[in-house]
A = this chain, B = another copy of it.
Amino acid sequence: MQGTSQTPSRPTTAYTPTDRTVPTRSPDRASYDKELVHAILDEGYVCHLGFVRDGAPVVLPTLYGRVGERLYVHGSTGSRPLRMAGGADPGLPVCLTVTHVDALVLARSAFHHSINYRSVVVHGTAHDVTDPDEKRQALDALVDHVVPGRSYDSRPANKKELAATAVIRLDLDEVSAKVRTGGVNDEPEDLALPHWAGLVPLRKGYEAPVADPGLAPGTALPGYLAEL
Whether the pair B204, A121 counts as a contact (CB closer than 8 A) is no
Whether the pair B206, A203 counts as a contact (CB closer than 8 A) is yes
16 contacts between A and B (CB under 8 A): A20-B53, A24-B78, A24-B83, A25-B79, A46-B101, A46-B115, A48-B61, A50-B58, A58-B121, A110-B139, A110-B143, A155-B193, A196-B220, A199-B210, A200-B207, A203-B204
CA distance A45 to B106 in the complex (A): 14
Query: Which of A50, A58, A79 gathers most chain B CB within 10 Å?
Result: A50
Verify if A8 is at the interface (C-beta below 8 Å from B).
Answer: no
Could you give, for residues 138-176 of chain A, a 1 whenever the CB lies within 8 Å of some chain B CB and a 0 otherwise? Answer: 011001001100110111111001000100000000000
Whether the pair B147, A104 counts as a contact (CB closer than 8 A) is yes
With A111-B161, A203-B203 known as contacts, the answer to whether A97 contacts B147 (CB < 8 A) is no
CA distance A98 to B149 in the complex (A): 29
Whether the pair B200, A97 counts as a contact (CB closer than 8 A) is no
Could you give, for residues 52-91 of chain A, a 1 whenever the CB lies within 8 Å of some chain B CB and a 0 otherwise? Answer: 1101111111010000000000011011100100000000
Whether the pair B209, A200 counts as a contact (CB closer than 8 A) is yes
Number of A residues with CB within 8 Å of any CB on chain B: 97
Neighbour of A60 across the interface among B97, B153, B212, CB < 8 A: B97
CA distance A218 to B194 in the complex (A): 8
CA distance A123 to B56 in the complex (A): 9
Verify if A202 is at the interface (C-beta below 8 Å from B).
Answer: yes
Whether the pair A108, B154 counts as a contact (CB closer than 8 A) is yes
Whether the pair A207, B201 counts as a contact (CB closer than 8 A) is yes
Verify if A113 is at the interface (C-beta below 8 Å from B).
Answer: yes
With A25-B79, A78-B24, A99-B61 known as contacts, the answer to whether A190 contacts B52 (CB < 8 A) is no
Report chain B residues within 8 Å CB of A219: 194-196
Whether the pair B50, A80 counts as a contact (CB closer than 8 A) is no
Verify if A184 is at the interface (C-beta below 8 Å from B).
Answer: yes
Whether the pair A59, B155 counts as a contact (CB closer than 8 A) is no
In the complex, besides A110-B151, A110-B156, A197-B214, 9 extra interface pairs with C-beta distance below 8 angstroms are A24-B78, A46-B117, A50-B59, A57-B58, A57-B59, A106-B225, A111-B155, A155-B195, A199-B210
